[in-house]
Chain A
Amino acid sequence: MLTVENLTISFRTDEGRVTPVQDVGFSLAEGRTLGIVGESGSGKSVSTKALMRLLPGNAEIGAQARMRYTAKSGEEIAIEALKPNARALRHLRGGEIGMIFQEPMASFSPVYTIGNQIMETIRLHRGLKGQAARDLAVEMLTKVGISNPDARVDQYPHELSGGMRQRAMIALALSAGPRLLIADEPTTALDVTIQAQVLDLMRDLQRDLAMGMIFITHDLGVIAHIADDVAVMYLGTIVETGTAREVLKSPAHPYTRGLIKAIPRADRLDARLEAVPGDIPSPSARPSGCPFHPRCAEAIAGLCDRATPPEVTLGVGRRVRCHLHETRAVA
């Protein structure tokens, strides 16, 4: 239902052009969840904002980029070609693709009630008014597990706790009936017990509504339990894709391997953690060749620091960008 190819995004800044996303491609099938994992500066949020055309004015999407989305009506939309003020774009935002952000307090307006904001969405995308819109808003709040929805619908965002706000945010996104939901670190600001509740909820809703979902997070633990497929990003490129099991159980890229080893787990208390050496470079000082080579223990001198690694296909939907696999494939 969604295919992204050759997506490159750059920003014009005072210090010159910065390219936080380089040649990214992924696809999503109906009813599946794609998890995008990456650390700060990996470009995971920026690339999904491009799907909604929500990038700031100084951003440029590369001319080669193709973003194809199949709408509810079956019509294929070329997202990159939409005019910024097109009616189709307004319908796409919310109506076709819903989005949830990390900080629900920042995404709700503080001066309108929760119900008011949900009803606005319903009015725009579902064409319902008055009592019918209100009934649907209450129904959505019930669906996301908010107790006493008849009273909550008239409350302001600050009157709800963090977990409740995130549930209300999900209700807001779903009230427009999207076919694809983009969730950008939706549980990062929540406590673990609340995170477990929200993850449960999102998994159930996604299954019931047969939505496609893109779930962005830095937490591989969350990925393991919500995603069907995973794309690992590092400094603006996707270094590895595959099913969640393949990527987490047998990671192919040295970065993914390092990341998995660096996660503290409670089962081996005495052992030292294996850190990935060095720091994440800033996107404005992207290393040449493979972006991971300065931190990679297996880097091949003269190759990894010069040539951008090609994408090597290891299986169906299983791809990795690393010179090590290229040489192995040849040998």
Chain B
Amino acid sequence: MIPDNSPLLEIRDLEVSFDLGKRGFFSGTRKQLKAVDGVSFDIRRGETVGLVGESGSGKTTVGRAILRVIAPSGGQVLLHGEGAPLDLVPLGRKALRPLRPRMSLVFQDPYSSLNPRMTVRDIIAEPLVVGGQLRDRDAIDARVREIAARCKLDLEHLRRFPHAFSGGQRQRICIARALVARPDFVVCDESVSALDVSIQAEIINLLRDLQEETGTSFLFIAHDLNVVARISHRVAVIYVGRFAEYAPTESLFFHPRHPYTHALLSAVPEPDPDLPFTPERLVGEIPNPADAPPGCRFHTRCPFAQKRCKTDVPVWRELASDHFVACHYAEEFDFRRSREPAGTTPAKEREIP
């Protein structure tokens, strides 16, 4: 299914804070860690949005806050459906319950995310049973068999327990479980990172196929840029709790506008000894979000940082149609990447003025 332009989720100024505990017993000031600090983007129907960032950037927290696994401390998460969009942020546990079947999650580690004492059939059926969508055992069985077949699981595997399966098969079980209740929206949090390359490719293809068939929207969180590129329609880059850039995949990969995106892309070694490997030299490491730098958060490592970057927070703006960036000097950079072998010029350049 080609994504249409109607949004499924609109995320506005999302903030998530964690308490780090009181400093002293009488001081009363609580130290807070803002893991996500004012993130805005939308996810369309039938679209896969990739979210990349280094460890500690807050990418997992964004996914969990949207699913309301954790409570955001500010902002809105508008879920569109029939009628007016519904803000998930103020809702409590009970109010969220009827919405749960519409949202789902696939974790990173297929070994710890499956209950070893349940059969594969029961694992996949659980969202249907808990959500109360289907009550009739035969109807549940039929749906489980349908989704299992789509996820390329053998039907006779349904009677077995998870320990009998390899990593790739387990991840297919997780995907079947996530999709069994026909959700509108699935968060995949590093769902292929733990798999070997030869297995990973198959899972990426499976997710692409399932998404085209079902029209489910995905938020695909990963640290591997090339994996994200292969699966996403649009990609967001997050750095210490704030978005650096959000754009259609091809624009982002072939014409990034933020120095951080450029640095990330240049740091990925390609399996070709003839391609030059010239990673942008970034000084130091990703800052601790509890002690985030003022101004632009990337200024401590940015090779192009100016005086202004140390004090002024860059505005999140639409630089070109659908291409959002948070950098004071985005217009001045030309990070066009053309490492093209077979005549495929960096596409969609014309979109950028």
Q: B-contacting residues of A (Cβ < 8 Å)?
A: 39-40, 161-164, 191-197, 199-200, 218-225, 244-245, 248-249, 258-260, 262-269, 272-277, 279-280, 282, 295
Given contacts A279-B166, A279-B169, contact A266 B253 (CB under 8 A): yes
Q: How far is the CA of A221 from the CA of B279 in the complex (A)?
A: 13
Q: A-contacting residues of B (Cβ < 8 Å)?
A: 54-55, 166-169, 196-202, 204-205, 208, 223-227, 229-230, 249-250, 253, 263-275, 277, 279, 281-282, 285-286, 339-341, 344
The residue on A at minimum CB distance from B276 is: A225
Q: Is the CB of A272 within 8 A of B269?
A: no
Given contacts A192-B225, A225-B277, A248-B273, contact A259 B267 (CB under 8 A): no
Q: Is the CB of A199 within 8 A of B200?
A: no
Chain B positions within 8 Å of A39 at CB level: 196-199
Chain B positions within 8 Å of A266 at CB level: 225-226, 229-230, 253, 265, 268
Q: Is the CB of B250 within 8 A of A269?
A: yes
Q: How far is the CA of A305 from the CA of B341 in the complex (A)?
A: 38
Contact of A268 among B55, B223, B227, B344 (CB under 8 A): B344
Chain A positions within 8 Å of B168 at CB level: 279
Chain A positions within 8 Å of B253 at CB level: 266, 269
Q: How far is the CA of A225 from the CA of B270 in the complex (A)?
A: 8
Q: How far is the CA of A165 from the CA of B248 in the complex (A)?
A: 36
4 further A-B contacts with Cβ under 8 Å, apart from A196-B267, A273-B205, are A194-B54, A218-B197, A224-B272, A269-B249
Contact of B273 among A196, A219, A245, A282 (CB under 8 A): A245
7 nearest A-B residue pairs (beta carbon): A221-B269, A196-B279, A276-B198, A220-B271, A275-B202, A39-B196, A275-B201
Q: Is the CB of B201 within 8 A of A221?
A: no
Q: Is the CB of A259 within 8 A of B198?
A: yes
Q: What's the count of A-B pairs with C-beta under 8 Å?
A: 138
Q: Is the CB of A280 within 8 A of B196?
A: yes
Contact of A273 among B204, B272, B275, B277 (CB under 8 A): B204
Chain A positions within 8 Å of B249 at CB level: 269
CB distance from A136 to the nearest CB of B (A): 26
Interface pairs (24), CB distance under 8 Å: A39-B198, A40-B167, A164-B285, A192-B223, A194-B54, A195-B267, A220-B197, A220-B271, A224-B272, A248-B273, A249-B273, A262-B197, A262-B198, A266-B230, A267-B341, A268-B344, A269-B229, A269-B250, A272-B205, A273-B204, A275-B201, A275-B205, A279-B168, A279-B169
Q: Which of B169, B230, B265 has the most CB of A within 10 A?
A: B230
Chain A positions within 8 Å of B270 at CB level: 221, 224, 265
Chain B positions within 8 Å of A192 at CB level: 54, 223, 225, 264, 267-268
Q: Which of A161, A195, A266 has the most CB of B within 10 A?
A: A266
CB distance from B243 to the nearest CB of A (A): 17
The residue on B at minimum CB distance from A277 is: B202
The residue on A at minimum CB distance from B286 is: A191
The residue on A at minimum CB distance from B166 is: A279
Q: Is the CB of A259 within 8 A of B197?
A: yes
Chain A positions within 8 Å of B169 at CB level: 279
Chain B positions within 8 Å of A224 at CB level: 269-273, 275, 277
CB distance from B50 to the nearest CB of A (A): 11
Chain B positions within 8 Å of A295 at CB level: 198
Contact of A265 among B226, B273, B285 (CB under 8 A): B226
Q: Is the CB of A267 within 8 A of B344?
A: yes
Q: Is the CB of B271 within 8 A of A162?
A: no
Q: Is the CB of A222 within 8 A of B269?
A: yes
CB distance from B300 to the nearest CB of A (A): 13
The residue on B at minimum CB distance from A228 is: B273
Q: Is the CB of A193 within 8 A of B263?
A: yes
Given contacts A191-B223, A263-B271, A266-B225, contact A275 B198 (CB under 8 A): yes
